Amino acid sequence: MSELDRLDKLHRFHEALKRGKLGRVESFELWLRNRGFNPEKVNSKYIHRFFLNNPLKIVNYDEQLEKIGGFVGLNLSDGKKYHIPLIGIKGSGKSLLLNAVRYMLESLDEELNVKASDASLFAETLDDDEFLFYEFLDTLDSGVNVVIVDSCERDQRIVESLREINRRAGDSVYLTAWTPEKWRYFVEGVEDLLPVSTEIFLEPFEIQHTRELVDTLMEFLRRDGALEVDAASLHEFSLGIPGIVVDLFIQSLKEAFLKGKDAVDREAVEGAAQKMGIIKIMDKLNSLSDIQLTILNSILLSWDERGVRPMMLVEELNKDKATISYHLHTLLSEGILEVERSGRSAFYRIRRFAIPFVQLKLMEMVEYG
């Protein structure tokens, strides 16, 4: 390299440094602002809060809302008890639907007594060491019309919890929310005390509803400007799972920025899906053996958020350690599992974005197997 070339490189680096100090380098935040987005809103938690605060903006739940409304009306007419479990994979929108139900009921001219809680909080305590569950119980009596219990799959004592809730609230309408594997696990015990009136399964979106969701996101996240979004590719790689659509949309914006694009095209969406580990994920799941799918189901049923240790699977599935180790490493190499090591222990869990796809596959096995 000549002295002239060396000086030129140094000069260009120094000039780039000056531009950075003046804020003239296009970061992802600046890229978003230049395309009319509010960067503070472009995250999944903010978007979730938006739908909680704007329940009429949720997409494709009209039929479910009407079914629930019908049973509430029936209860007001005959005074009988009704139980409607909402069953859906992670990211299917169970919490948003329950929130919309509560909003609808509290908007009626007819005063209804609606009580709602989240079962994932039942074991938490207040300042006086009283469990939140007992605080919720204290709000219940025979005058309650509708009881809403979200995240039932997060409470290890959910059958006992529902028994106490039922004892307090009596002949109300009970709306409970479950993931499919935990509903299958608990259904027998729940049926003994709260017979099911009807089940509501939250299915993935059809492509028109994915488009509607993307349009809602663009309306909420952007102030002005134009940006083309390939909603068909978002639907293809997400399979229409609402939560995955949102996460994939956000990651696709980042990919469009990194690739220097002015649109969220198929290349950006595919790159985002690759980083999320969901490219051809259903093909991977369809190729798994029965024992591997059983392992995945066991992991979903585990109460340990770190995952499961191999020896737990050895004992639960009555398989030798070498067999379990082989299948765990296969699932790990396929990008379905991840591992966390703590001392001499290894905990295997399903990767975050893979969870709803695994749940879909296991539901398919139950339905057609």
Q: Are residues 79 and 192 in the same domain?
A: yes
Q: Is 144 helix (H, G, I), strand (E, B) or coil?
A: coil
Q: What is the pLDDT of residue 46?
A: 95
* Joined tokens for residue 129: 């060491």
DSSP state of 83: E
Q: Are residues 189 and 81 in the same domain?
A: yes
Q: Are residues 71 and 179 in the same domain?
A: yes
Residues sharing a CB contact under 8 Å with residue 31, sequence separation 6 or more, in sequence order: 257
CATH of the domain at 131: 3.40.50.300
Q: Are residues 187 and 302 in the same domain?
A: no
70 near 62, Cβ under 8 Å? no
Q: Are residues 193 and 322 in the same domain?
A: no
Phi, psi angles (nearest 5°) of residue 228: -80, 130
DSSP state of 91: T
149 near 117, Cβ under 8 Å? yes
Q: What is the pLDDT of residue 368?
A: 47
Q: Residue 66: inside a domain, yes or no?
A: yes
State which of 149, 169, 201 marks the end of a domain: 201
The type of residue at 356 is P
Q: Residue 294: inside a domain, yes or no?
A: yes
pLDDT in tens, 79-111: 999 999 999 999 999 999 999 999 999 998 788
* Joined tokens for residue 167: 């004892």
Q: Residue 127: inside a domain, yes or no?
A: yes
State which of 172, 201, 230 marks the end of a domain: 201
Dist CA 83 CA 173 (whole Å): 6
Nearest to 284 by CA among 212, 214, 354, 230: 354
Mean pLDDT by 10 residues, the chain (369 residues): 68 66 74 91 95 94 96 96 98 97 90 95 80 94 96 97 97 98 97 96 97 95 84 98 98 96 96 97 97 97 95 95 96 96 93 98 76
Dist CA 66 CA 265 (whole Å): 37
Q: Are residues 178 and 289 in the same domain?
A: no
Q: What is the pLDDT of residue 129?
A: 72
Dist CA 101 CA 66 (whole Å): 10
Q: Are residues 90 and 197 in the same domain?
A: yes
Dist CA 128 CA 137 (whole Å): 16
261 near 32, Cβ under 8 Å? no
Nearest to 171 by CA among 266, 82, 239: 82
State which of 181, 201, 221 marks the end of a domain: 201
pLDDT in tens, 333-362: 999 999 999 888 999 999 999 999 999 999
Q: Are residues 67 and 168 in the same domain?
A: yes
Q: Residue 81: inside a domain, yes or no?
A: yes
Cα 355 to the center of its chain, rounded Å: 9
Q: Residue 101: inside a domain, yes or no?
A: yes
CATH of the domain at 341: 1.10.10.10
Regarding pTM above 0.75, the answer is: yes
Cα 43 to the center of its chain, rounded Å: 14
Q: Residue 149: inside a domain, yes or no?
A: yes
How many domains does the structure of the chain reveal?
2
Q: Are residues 78 and 193 in the same domain?
A: yes
279: alpha, beta or left? (left if phi > 0; alpha if psi -120 to 50):
beta
Residues sharing a CB contact under 8 Å with residue 335, sequence separation 6 or more, in sequence order: 277, 284, 351, 354
If 0-12 CB within 10 Å is exposed, 13-18 middle and 19+ buried, where does residue 272 land? buried
Dist CA 367 CA 369 (whole Å): 6
| Cα pseudo-dihedral 352, 57, 212, 364, rounded to 10 | 40
Q: What range does the domain containing 348 cover? A: 282-368
Q: Residue 245: inside a domain, yes or no?
A: no
Nearest to 133 by CA among 121, 145, 116: 121
Q: Are residues 286 and 189 in the same domain?
A: no
